[in-house]
Amino acid sequence: MAKKDLDKLAVVPTHVAIIMDGNGRWALEKGLPRVAGHRAGTENLREVIEASVEFGIKYLTIYAFSTENWKRPQDEIQGLMHIFRTMLDRELKNLHENGVQLRHFGRLEGIDNALKKKVLEAIDLTKDNQTLILNIAFNYGGRDEIIQAVKGILADGHTPDEVTEDLISEYLYSASCPDPDLIIRTSGEYRCSNFLIWQGAYSEWYFTPTYWPDFGREDLYQALAVYSQRDRRYGKIKTEKGS
Ligand code: FPP
């Protein structure tokens, strides 16, 4: 894909969020254990992050482990924890040098101390980077996020009159991050699975049958090309582009 192809994109979304689905099926179809699919789904992640920078995306949010994923078999859970730890060890330096800021969406409780420490160190190390904000949703659930926000609002003593959309947004993990313009789900599933349920109220969705480990730069470009043709109306009947 050449530079001129990028020029064809009428608009590039500021914030793209991805449900990286299909790792298990990718592995099973190859006769491999499910965790091999998760491992493969880390390899293409690097390509997708690099392509996001190249395409001018400013925020990328990836759904890596949901609050419901604790119901999976122990060996798969341990495998995912190990992959996250290894990814931080292996990729952090490169991400930092390329101006990527890491943020975490979700609960740190429940994650073992060594991994928690690595996540907090990675967030601290990269906090001033501005090329791409990479939000990793790990031990994340959209309903849980809203419960935590409501608790925070009550704990801070806000009155009912003060409760607005902006106030709730400030108490979410995504505070200071614009809502996702585009949410991509791979693997041919058509549901939101408790992902960014508040922030995604007016997001455009893009579904592809491609399993996550096979999703790369060209697939991301395709998703952006489709997005750039969408008419976002936000409940109105007609938009001037950009209004
Ligand atoms: C969904 O596929 C994928 C996950 C639950 C895990 C996603 C994790 C990665 C891609 C690893 C890299 C990311 C980080 C930051 C740790 P699935 O297992 O539900 O697949 P299936 O629907 O085919 O079973």
Task: Report if residue 147 sits inside a domain.
Answer: no
**CA–CA dist 197, 62 (Å, integer):** 14
Confidence grade of residue 4 (pLDDT, cut at 50, 70, 90): low
Task: Report if residue 242 sits inside a domain.
Answer: no
Domain count for the chain, please give it.
Answer: 1
**Does the structure show a pLDDT above 70 at 243?**
no
Residue 38 alpha carbon to ligand 1 centre in Å: 5
Residue 152 alpha carbon to ligand 1 centre in Å: 30
Task: Report if residue 197 sits inside a domain.
Answer: yes
With a threshold of 0.85, does the pTM exceed it?
yes
Task: Report if residue 168 sits inside a domain.
Answer: no
Q: Which of 5, 7, 23, 69 is catalytic?
A: 69
Q: Is 21 a catalytic residue?
A: yes
Domain of 54? 3-141+180-226
Per-residue pLDDT tens digits for 22-66: 999 999 999 999 999 999 999 999 999 999 999 999 999 999 999
Residue 214, domain CATH = 3.40.1180.10
Task: Report if residue 99 sits inside a domain.
Answer: yes
Per-residue pLDDT tens digits for 104-143: 999 999 899 999 999 999 999 999 999 999 999 999 999 9
Task: Report if residue 40 sits inside a domain.
Answer: yes
Mean pLDDT of the chain: 95
Per-residue pLDDT tens digits for 140-159: 999 999 999 999 999 999 99
Per-residue pLDDT tens digits for 188-240: 999 999 999 999 999 999 999 999 999 999 999 999 999 999 988 888 886 55
State which of 18, 23, 42, 83 you would mutate to test the pocket of ligand 1, scoring each by most atoms of that ligand within 8 A of its C-beta: 23
Task: Report if residue 19 sits inside a domain.
Answer: yes
Q: How many CB atoms lie within 10 A of CB 139?
A: 21
Q: Give the pLDDT of residue 222.
A: 97
Q: CB under 6 Å to ligand 1: residues?
A: 20-25, 38, 41-42, 45, 64, 69, 80, 83-84, 87, 136, 187, 212
Residue nearest to atom 13 of ligand 1 (CA): 64
Residue 175 alpha carbon to ligand 1 centre in Å: 25
Q: Is 69 a catalytic residue?
A: yes
Confidence grade of residue 2 (pLDDT, cut at 50, 70, 90): low
Task: Report if residue 117 sits inside a domain.
Answer: yes
